[in-house]
Amino acid sequence: MTPQLLSLKKEISRKKLDAILISSVANIIYLTNFSYFSHYEREAFLLVLKNKQYILTDGRYAEAIKENTQNFDLIEISSSLTFEKTLKNLAKKHRIKYLGVEENNLTAKEHKKLSRLLNDLSHFTVADLRMIKNPSEISAIEEACRLGDKTFEHVITLINRGVTERQLGFEIEFFIKKHGADISFPPIVAFGKNSAIPHHKSSDKRLTTKDKIVLLDFGAKVNNYCSDMTRTVFFGKPTRKQKRIYETVLEAQQKAIEYLKSLIINHKSIAAKEVDKVARNYIISKNYNTIPHSVGHGIGLEVHEKPIISPKSKDILKAGMVFSIEPGIYIPGFGGVRIEDLVVLENFSPRLLTHSSKDIIQL
């Protein structure tokens, strides 16, 4: 049995549940290592009991499940043996009364149906388990980050007059896929004033010498684990205003990382919202608008997961967590700068997983 499954079973006991129904695809991958299911549609459930666990899916995946998963008994659902019928049977067989479900993943409709089968549904989340990464998870993220750095090195050689945002996005994606990995999300490539849109969708805009700013935000996925990084470079000499913005963002990021270091060294507990505040307040102190997003987010099987490093976060940062630190300044109609790295918290220090240069790059 995997450590993940063991931890989950401990939670079942601790919460006095009879079983847990897992529905989110990321959690199914976390527990089974089986990554074939669509992220868009409901194709499978796991039912985990104290001493047994089932995977419920339809005939399309039966063969692949048999070949690729251990520990789980396969139950093939179909239009005659529906998911509801199967769950009813299993609840009876194993005397399941208290069932934990993922309320932030099940739809309201699914939840309604389930509550007709079982009275005692309660919310259960795997997010807290997933927050602390084990060494093999960290090394998968690290490998994804290495590929991210390589991709950055490659893509900056392609930043030339006339290239479009979409073309660069395409090159990032293909470079990553050619290396046998996947992308963690569609790359964001923003030229000039488009960089003022934090989640800009790459367009057919061509790069001109007037644009100057080139913002690149992308990630690779290796063995299902994601990386995420942002660099902002300049096509031609940055203006004084652009340079000042860049240096402010970089300083904000460094201050947040330094803050993390100082707390770890002093064995102090680190509230995520305090880390957010350090970067955010520095930017505000320089008379820029506040950051229109959180300063960081956890990452792993999903590109955004716990902990969240935001003004209202209740998360406490601990050894084994991997997250981004990504302050930014965005000026509508002018442009923006964001710098993003991934950090793993280790026992005595935070360690950067992305290593691309943060000196001002002028192409």
Among 187, 198, 238, 335, binds a copy of itself (CB under 8 A): 198
Nearer of residues 169 and 238 to a copy of itself, judged by Cβ: 169
In the bound complex, what is the minimum distance in angstroms from residue 234's beta carbon to a copy of itself?
A: 21
Q: Tell me if 323 sits within 8 A of 304, measured CB to CB.
A: no
Among 39, 97, 154, 161, binds a copy of itself (CB under 8 A): 39
Which residue type is seen at 175? F
Please choose, from the candidates 148, 212, 154, 122, the residue with its C-alpha nearest in 3D space to the C-alpha of residue 341: 148
Q: Which residues contact 208 (CB under 8 A, 6 or more apart)?
A: 161, 192
Among 61, 124, 152, 282, binds a copy of itself (CB under 8 A): 61
In the bound complex, what is the minimum distance in angstroms from residue 51's beta carbon to a copy of itself?
A: 27
Nearer of residues 200 and 212 to a copy of itself, judged by Cβ: 200
Among 110, 143, 251, 274, binds a copy of itself (CB under 8 A): 110
Among 161, 292, 316, 349, binds a copy of itself (CB under 8 A): 292
In the bound complex, what is the minimum distance in angstroms from residue 252's beta carbon to a copy of itself?
A: 17
> What pairing do the DSSP bridges indicate for beta strands 220-222 and 270-271?
unpaired
Q: Tell me if 87 sits within 8 A of 55, measured CB to CB.
A: no
Footprint of a copy of itself on residues 304-323 (CB under 8 A)?
A: 304, 310-312
Establish if 348 lies at the interface with a copy of itself (CB under 8 A).
Answer: no
Please choose, out of 61-69, 210-218, 259-267, 352-360, the segment that lies near a copy of itself by the rule CB under 8 A. 61-69
Quote the longest CA-to-CA distance of the chain.
Answer: 72
* Burial degree of 263 (CB within 10 A; 0-12, 13-18, 19+): middle
Footprint of a copy of itself on residues 118-137 (CB under 8 A)?
A: 123
In the bound complex, what is the minimum distance in angstroms from residue 261's beta carbon to a copy of itself?
A: 26
Establish if 170 lies at the interface with a copy of itself (CB under 8 A).
Answer: yes
Please give the C-alpha separations between residue 319 and each of 19, 313, 323, 343, 350, in angstroms, as whole numbers.
Answer: 29, 18, 11, 11, 9
- Taking CB atoms within 8 Å and a gap of at least 24, the contacts of 40-45 are 42/110, 45/21, 45/83, 45/87
Establish if 274 lies at the interface with a copy of itself (CB under 8 A).
Answer: no
Please give the C-alpha separations between residue 281 and each of 253, 255, 276, 289, in angstroms, as whole numbers.
Answer: 11, 10, 8, 10
Token pair recorded at residue 248: 């402010």
Among 146, 166, 243, 244, binds a copy of itself (CB under 8 A): 166
Nearer of residues 98 and 185 to a copy of itself, judged by Cβ: 185
Among 16, 63, 209, 266, binds a copy of itself (CB under 8 A): 63
Please choose, out of 129-137, 170-178, 217-225, 317-325, the segment that lies near a copy of itself by the rule CB under 8 A. 170-178
Establish if 58 lies at the interface with a copy of itself (CB under 8 A).
Answer: yes
Please choose, from the candidates 8, 84, 98, 108, the residue with its C-alpha nearest in 3D space to the C-alpha of residue 53: 8
Lay out the sheet containing 322-325: strands in order across: 305-309, 296-298, 322-325, 341-345, 350-352
Q: Kindly provide the residue ranges of all beta strands, DSSP E only, lying in 228-283, ordered along the sequence.
A: 229-234, 270-271
Please choose, out of 3-11, 131-139, 227-235, 297-305, the segment that lies near a copy of itself by the rule CB under 8 A. 297-305
In the bound complex, what is the minimum distance in angstroms from residue 255's beta carbon to a copy of itself?
A: 21
Among 33, 98, 156, 185, binds a copy of itself (CB under 8 A): 185
Write b or e for each residue in 284-314: b if 16 or more Cβ atoms lie within 10 A of its Cβ, otherwise e: eeeebeebeebbbbbbbbbbbbbbbbbeebe
Residues that bind a copy of itself (CB under 8 A): 35-36, 38-41, 58-64, 78-79, 101, 103-112, 123, 166, 170, 173-174, 177-178, 180, 185, 196-201, 292-293, 302-304, 310-312, 332
